[in-house]
Structure 1
Amino acid sequence: MACGGEEPAAPKVCASQQKPEVHSFQQCGPTLDFTPINRYAGTLADAIQRSEDAVALINGSCTGTLIAAGAGPVVLTAGHCVAVGDRPLLVFNFEDDADGDPLITEGTVIEQALEPDYALIQLDTLPAVTPVSLTTQATEPLAIIQHPRGHPKVIAEGTFLASCNQLVYYADLDTLVGSSGAGVLNRQGHLLGVHTDGDCNEKGQGVNWGWTAEAIVEASPYLQIADIADR
């Protein structure tokens, strides 16, 4: 009831898969709850600090995460951000009070799809960071490390709602344009899914969602089942 008025209805989840949409504003609740990554001291702090260096700004308009894979680390992002053969520009450690060496590099999009909504980018130069592991294990809370509107890296936390139909749903987790492609991380800092869509509003109604890592691995020729660390 923090928003006043009637209590919001329970968000609808596990409906039929929806086509990717890019919303300019996906604020879940009365405030926009972003924390600059190097000021975050929440319940996931230890895991987030192990994962955040692997997050990159892509072409100033999307977010991606360097993931661990048997065939070699690649950046995982949303498919509606790029096309196969594109040569996007990626910036690592673009953040307030940066705690690592910034790296600007290009890469080649080697896979892209819209169902599931994902893309893989093979980098020209790998950053000196630890790639994030994929997972099927949802936890409370979930978090997204992101570059909303191309701004320096921030984090938002939210509530896990459900995982079904190859999608993962979460509430009270703010995103903006530029957040597309960011990893949905569990309590261990592993990547459960890729943020692609949202339908939240300032009254606390609605839900954000993304495609699960498991769905992406099943669709990808490059990724393998063994790349999911704790299936």
Structure 2
Amino acid sequence: MKKLIAIAAVPALFLVACSSADQTATNEADSPAAPQVDEGNGTLDHPDFLRKVADPTNYKVTREPAEHRGSSVLSTCGSTDDSVYVNDYTGNLGVSTAYVNAHKNPVGAMESSASDASSAKYCSGTLIANDLFLTASHCIDSSTVANDYIAFNYERAKGSTTVLTQTHVKITAIVEDGLGGLDYAIVRLQGSPGTTFGTTPANATEVAAGGTLAIIQHPARLPKKIEAGTKTGNSGDYHTYGNIDTQGGSSGSGILNASGQVVGVHTNGGCTSSGGTNSGVRMSRIAAASNIL
């Protein structure tokens, strides 16, 4: 069994679910016609998360965009990165433009200072309540509360390289971190940014193999991008997907189902030009461990 990392002592909380999708796709739950593919038993833990589990007291986030740092494992599936800046998206990746417009605002970039500079950005995540932000555990360390922020509206204007005005919100507490030995974390933000940017509900219902998944993310410290594709299957605690491109900086992004609900947290690159899959922790596993979700 994996080691339990840490949780801050907090009162009971309730998940706020608002910001509905502008489309009518239904959840793609398991069914006899579309069985889950189980490829393994929890072998996909991110190297940084393994460092954290091994020595949580001394763990420091590598605040630079690199999946599987120091290895040759990439995260672009195939020869081309198909991700698109959200405001330039035309609906060609399998989800509609209305879907992206409905679900992009709660997505934020974690940053090491309240700065508009791309160099400050290092991970991604999603507002799941007015003051709660879901991300990856390996994006959190002992200096997160003292130093770090979330940047919202870090996007390019449509048809332009101009970056829109960002809002920087202070991280005030680590609410959950690595419960159940899972690479996820929930942090509390100052104020109530969800009332401005909306929130995304979580759904622990499993998406079937072949079902639609989308990731709205900040890859490689870039302004917000959309990538979508299909689920390959399950590998232990993880969803796997072989046609959804990510990069360093995408860690912590919510994995969305066809209805725009968070069904997982993206954590790992694993795709190469010739195969492989990227992956993220399944919400069904997170919900079983969490006191909030």
Q: Do Structure 1 and Structure 2 share a fold, with TM-score over 0.5?
A: yes
Match of 1:217 in 2: 287
Q: CA 1:164 to 1:15, structure 2 compared with 1: closer, same or farther past 3 Å? A: closer
Matches within 5 A, 1:40-59: 40-42=89-91, 43-44=94-95, 45-59=97-111
1:89-132 CA-partner distances (Å, limit 9, x unpaired): 11001000179863101112222117210011100033202210
**How large is the Cα RMSD of the aligned pairs?**
2.2
* Cα distance between partner residues in 1 of 2:39 and 2:100: 28
* Cα distance between partner residues in 1 of 2:286 and 2:174: 15
Match of 1:123 in 2: 189
Match of 2:253 in 1: 182
Q: What is the one-letter code of the residue matched to 1:132?
A: T
Tell me the TM-score normalised to structure 2 length: 0.66
How far did residue 81 of structure 1 move? 0.6
Match of 1:76 in 2: 134
* Cα distance between partner residues in 2 of 1:126 and 1:163: 35
1:84·1:111 contact (CA, 8 Å) conserved in 2?
A: no
1:131-151 CA-partner distances (Å, limit 9, x unpaired): 101112526321111111111
Segment drifting more, 114-123 vs 12-21: 12-21
Partner secondary structure for residue 104 of structure 2: helix
Q: What is the one-letter code of the residue matched to 2:198?
A: T
Tell me the TM-score normalised to structure 1 length: 0.82
Q: CA 1:125 to 1:167, structure 2 compared with 1: closer, same or farther past 3 Å? A: same
* Cα distance between partner residues in 2 of 1:85 and 1:192: 28
State percent identity of aligned pairs. 32
* Cα distance between partner residues in 1 of 2:206 and 2:166: 31
* Cα distance between partner residues in 1 of 2:229 and 2:104: 17
Match of 1:7 in 2: none
How far did residue 183 of structure 1 move? 0.7
Partner secondary structure for residue 197 of structure 2: coil
Match of 1:4 in 2: none
Among 85, 103, 123, the alignment partner of 1:62 is 123
Between the two proteins, the alignment pairs up a number of residues equal to 208
**The structure with more radius of gyration:** 2
Segment drifting more, 106-115 vs 173-182: 106-115
1:176-199 CA-partner distances (Å, limit 9, x unpaired): 110000011111111110001121
Match of 1:23 in 2: 68
Match of 1:9 in 2: none
Match of 1:106 in 2: 170
Segment drifting more, 180-189 vs 36-45: 36-45
Partner secondary structure for residue 200 of structure 2: coil
Partner secondary structure for residue 144 of structure 2: coil
2:255·2:265 contact (CA, 8 Å) conserved in 1?
A: yes
Partner secondary structure for residue 14 of structure 1: coil
* Cα distance between partner residues in 2 of 1:95 and 1:80: 24
Match of 1:162 in 2: 233
1:207 paired with 2:277, answer yes
Q: What is the one-letter code of the residue matched to 1:213?
A: M
Match of 2:242 in 1: 171
2:242·2:277 contact (CA, 8 Å) conserved in 1?
A: yes
Partner secondary structure for residue 179 of structure 1: coil
